[in-house]
Chains A and B, each alone.
Chain A
Amino acid sequence: MHIPDGILPLSVTGSGYAATALTTWYSIRKIRQKEDPRQDIPKASLLTAAFFVASWIHIPVPPTSVHLVLNGLLGALLGYYAFPAILIGLFFQAIMFGHGGLTTLGVNAMIMGLPALIAHHIFRLRKWRNGDSQRKTGAFGFLSGVVATGISVAMFVIILLTNLPAEINVVSERAAIYALAIAHIPVIFIEGTVTALVTMFIRKVRSGILDGV
């Protein structure tokens, strides 16, 4: 789901950077409004490492192979820290793994970071009415993972379909994009399950980690 260099026109990559800059500014503003903004940095740092490594673990889904994104998990556990964490993780993925690219860093940050912020707000709903419980944490954790990855796939598909260059075989490329989107359906549910299991585990062993989100 990382869009590499040379696929999108300059106008789209430029808009991606502008949107990413705006969202990063907003996220940092929200982080600074916290009582102790540094409190969650260790958590954000470790999850950045998890996000960075996740794209290297391939899951074979014929005819292609996919990888976990973990943006729903980051959104659920980190809140507004998730966006800068994903941005840093994407930067290292681009320069080290060749996943994505530096020109498309802004677009990729929006594809994966924006759904993470949506996942954060979904996960907060577990506290709605009578506070959270283990079951509600699992349910909203699952929903966070599913929705975040689902939106990421949808954004990836829409951005590609609306920017198909004229010199390629559009019909063939469109079919390949749809095939890739279908291959991500199992990933969406795996992401939901992973997010649910991790949030439930954390709530059980150290619920304090979830206090701030």
Chain B
Amino acid sequence: MHKENNYIVFIIKLKWQSVIAAIAITMAFLFMPMEVHAHGVNINYTSNVEVEIIATYDSGTPMAGAQVAVYAPDDPTTPWLTGICDGEGRFSFTPDTARPGIWDVQVRLAGHGGMIHIPVGGDTTTADGQGGFSHLQIGIMSACVIWGSIGTALYFSKRRKT
């Protein structure tokens, strides 16, 4: 029994030692240099979508040096941004996502050019870009027009003979 009491006293002493050790470690952490807290990370984000356009003639030649005018959805008359295409006809810009809608980008070089409509933000899911026709489509349509012309010629030449 006496032996058991000695054992309990030893455990109590040990616990007190543990408590003191825990306080010492906490104090040590508290008074550690503040740099340790710099490992905390704080990340904010802003969603900026960069738009890149590539302007070429229908022959495939890039519109190098073409002038670009970007129009915001709420002001279609005054350019929001102007710039110049690089040697490969490329031009990049980051539209203001706070102004959602259809952004118009006009490209112009020596009186030639066109406009593309780019949806930005919101629920503007319809892209109305300048897709154009494929070479096959153009070929078929051209053949139709040419055949129409030949047909007209044949019709009127026959009428003349009769």
Which positions in A face B, CB cutoff 8 Å? 2-7, 36, 38-39, 41-43, 45-46, 48-49, 52-53, 56, 58, 60, 63-65, 92, 96-99, 156, 160, 167-169, 172-173, 176-177, 179-180
Contacts and interface: CB of A to CB of B under 8 A. Distances in A.
A79 B106 CA distance: 39
B47 interface: no
A38 B159 contact: yes
15 contacts: A4-B114, A6-B106, A7-B113, A36-B160, A56-B138, A60-B59, A96-B141, A160-B110, A167-B69, A168-B82, A172-B84, A173-B108, A176-B65, A176-B109, A180-B112
B146 A38 contact: no
Contacts of A96: 133, 138, 141-142, 145
Main secondary structure of the interface of B (DSSP, over half): mixed
A38 B142 contact: no
Nearest to A101: B114
B150 interface: yes
Given A52-B146, A96-B133, A177-B111, A64 B79 contact: no
A169 B67 contact: yes
Interface in B128-161: 130, 132-133, 138, 141-142, 145-146, 149-150, 152-154, 156-157, 159-160
A65 B67 contact: no
Contacts, number: 102
B64 interface: yes
B115 interface: yes
A74 B10 CA distance: 118
Contacts of B82: 167-169
Given A65-B61, A180-B110, A49 B150 contact: yes
Interface in B71-101: 78-79, 82, 84
Contacts of B69: 167-168
A160 B156 CA distance: 40
Interface string B50-66: 00000001110100110
Contact of A177 (B110, B113, B141): B110
A156 B153 contact: no
Contact of B153 (A46, A99, A176): A46
A201 B30 CA distance: 102
A179 B152 contact: no
B146 A168 contact: no
A39 B157 CA distance: 8
A172 B65 contact: yes
Report the interface size class on chain B: 35 or more
A60 B57 CA distance: 12
B150 A167 contact: no
A63 B111 contact: no
Given A46-B150, A53-B142, A173-B110, 6 more contacts: A49-B145, A49-B146, A96-B138, A167-B79, A168-B82, A176-B109
A63 B64 contact: yes
Contact of B58 (A97, A160, A168, A169): A97
Contacts of B58: 97-99
Contacts of A98: 58, 114, 130, 132
Contacts of A7: 108, 111, 113
Contacts of A63: 64
Given A7-B113, A52-B142, A176-B110, A45 B150 contact: yes
Contacts of B113: 4, 6-7
A48 B148 CA distance: 10
